[in-house]
Amino acid sequence: MRLKGRRAIVTGGASGIGRAIAEKFAAEGAAVAICDLNVTAAKALAAELTAKGHRACGVACDVAKTESAKKAVTEAVAALGGLDILVNNAGIETTGSVTTATDEDWERQIAVNLNGVFRVSRFAIPEIIKSGGGAVVNMSSVGGLVAVKEFSAYGASKAGVIQLTRSMAADYAENNIRVNCICPAAVQTPLLDRACDRLKGHGAPEEIRKLYASFTLLKRVGTAEEIANCALFLASDESSFVTGHALVADGGFSCQ
């Protein structure tokens, strides 16, 4: 078990990529706090994992709000008995260019996707330091590396996550904390389903899904488990000499 004895927080952990990460970490021996805006779903997943013999808890968390982030970390650390790993996975996605996106669209994506990483890390990193070090995994996107039409706010927020990851890696290396991020392309999750529904004016959802797949060299979208495997690598000792890195898991999208 690659994470035996470790204690992890996963934000946005109740569904999609976050859920896959929580399940993967638990299977590898970690005690997991599933922090999510949907606390009912977070507690339900924690109950499922507990029934399988794992240690898990569900915690309410709105990463866009400082007090909620602080309370969630405090509650998670109390339940787990400490903290070794943080996965900043919570994120949202809306479409629009700088002339079509609203102020609310822009501010909400920055608040969740970028500021949320800052907020949760602010409270979690001191706890990881108390444990003698550990790992932080931030969820960025291939949209933070390359330009995608109609994704201005999302792309800006995810590009910010990449640079914040590098800064955090530099700041906390002396505390034995490695900080990396993952840059996925489209992954089959509820978030992708919602994106396809929003774009249905441009075609049927299944056709839009095929379009996303066509952008990659592998001609398919990714799976949540594939991204969870990346997170496991970055959180485990297998990546002990890796920090400040953006791991691109995009099926070849960005190399074309």
Q: Which residues are catalytic?
A: 154
Structure tokens, 225? 């488990």
Pairing of strands 56-60, 31-36: parallel
Question: In sequence order, what are the residues at sequence separation of 6 or more whose Cβ sits closer than 8 angstroms to the Cβ of residue 78?
Answer: none
Measure the CA–CA gap between 129 and 177, rounded to whole angstroms.
8
Give dist(CA 250, CA 98) in Å, integer. 25
Count the alpha carbons within 13 Å of 41 in the hemisphere toward its beta carbon. Answer: 14
DSSP letter at 220 equals: S
HSE-up (13 A, CA, CB side) for residue 169: 20
**Terminal alpha carbon distance of the chain:** 37
Nearest to 44 by CA among 1, 13, 68, 71: 13
Half-sphere exposure of residue 2, counting CA atoms within 13 Å on the CB side? 15
| Cα gap 176→172, rounded to integer Å | 7
Count, in order, helices (H) and strands (E) of the chain: 9, 9
For residues 144 and 188, what is the distance between their CA atoms, to the nearest angstrom? Answer: 19
Q: What are phi and psi of 166, to 5 degrees?
A: -65, -40
